[in-house]
Structure formats: structure tokens, C-alpha cells
Amino acid sequence: MTGGRRPLILVGAGGLGRETAELVRAINAQGPGWDLLGFADDDPALAATTVAGLPVLGSIASVASQPVDLAVCTARPAVGCSRRPIVAGLGLTPDRFPTLIHPEASIAPSTEFGPGCIVFAGVVATASVVVGAHVVCMPQVVLTHDDQLGDYATLASGVRLGGGVRVETEAYLGAGALVREGVHIGPAALVGMGAVVLNDVPAGEVWAGVPARALTASIAEAVGA
């Protein structure tokens, strides 16, 4: 522990991991924050390298036994929500996964977060928002009154939810998607970039367009991957 800061390792050294490293640095600029040790990643090409100025310390499994907190930073829609099996495989108690909130997010005191969430700059949560575990909210996401986000949901940059929207476990909302008030996004559903969602999206379906409708396109195509 350095200067009273709790040690933290980021799981995943890809784009989301590098963005989370910058988020942690922003938190540290405001106060005690975290002793950011580096990344854990299973890509053998990254072993013993440096990413975003931080060392890749080893595989994901290798850090589970270390006395540190972990932030799981993976979010590729083309392969589903990878955070869930990673967290399950680590087998750690929820208190080992801190929720990281950028100091430039605007979060109402009535907002509730589960463990392991990552909330970037410009995110707004207005009133009585409930966020589950290991949810990722990218920059400029807007959550209005009474929204509910299930565990492992991912909201890409610029997503806007009307009041009372329910986003279920492992759902993925692409950048700039707009969701009308009261809509239900089912488990593992995917909403494409720029979609305008006016109706409920069933579990596991891919919806895109204005207004959004069900597609047969692949997940990667729907989110522009």
C-alpha cells in the first residue's frame, strides 16, 4: 500500500482497461485513491510488457491470490459479456471488486451501485437509479429517474435512457442509443449504435435502427465492431 492507497490491478489490458487506468488516475488526482499496480491479461503476447505506462503482471488467474482489489475491464460485444465468466472464475468475494466512478460523473445521492462497476466522465444519474454489479457506463451516458441496470450490463458512450427503463443482465447498448421511458431491455439483448428504442427488446435479440427493430445481423455488425 502506497501513501494509504489500496492496491488495485486492472483485469484486461485492452481499450477498456487503458481507459479505466486513466479513470483511476483521475480519481487519484482528487485524493488518496488507489495504488494502481498494473494489468492482468491472458494474452501471451502481452506477458512482461508495458501497456499505458503500466506493467502486465501476469495471467488473470495469477492475481486472484494476491491481496489486492481488482477491476474487470473487458467489454467486447462480439463475444458476449466476458466480465461474467472472468468474475466467476476468480471466485472472490464482492468486496474485492470496487466500484470506480470518475470525479467528473454527476451521480445523485439516491443512486445505488453494486460492486465492480466502472463509471466514466460525463455520466449522469439523476434520481433513484439502481445499478447492479460489474456494470460499465462509458462517457456521457445519461440515466434518468428510476432506471435499473442489471449485473454485467454495458452502456457505450452517449447512451440515453428515459425514466423507468430496465436493462437486464448482460445487455449491451451501443454508442448513442436512445431508449424511451419505461422500456424493458431483456437479458443478453444487444441494441445497435444510434438506435431509437421505442418498444421492449426481448432477451438475446439484436435490435437496431430508427425506430429500432429486430435484426438477423451479427452482434459485431450491429455495434459497428
CB contact burial 156-193 (16+ within 10 A = b; e otherwise)? bbbbbbbbbbbbbbbbbbbbbbbbbeebbbbbbbbbbb
For residue 48 the three cell numbers come to: 512482461
Largest CA distance in the chain: 53
8 φ, ψ to 5°?
Answer: -140, 135
CA dihedral of residues 188, 176, 123, 54 (deg, nearest 10): 80
Whether 134 sits among the annotated catalytic residues: the reply is no
CA distance 127 to 113: 13
Instruction: Report the catalytic residues.
Output: 145
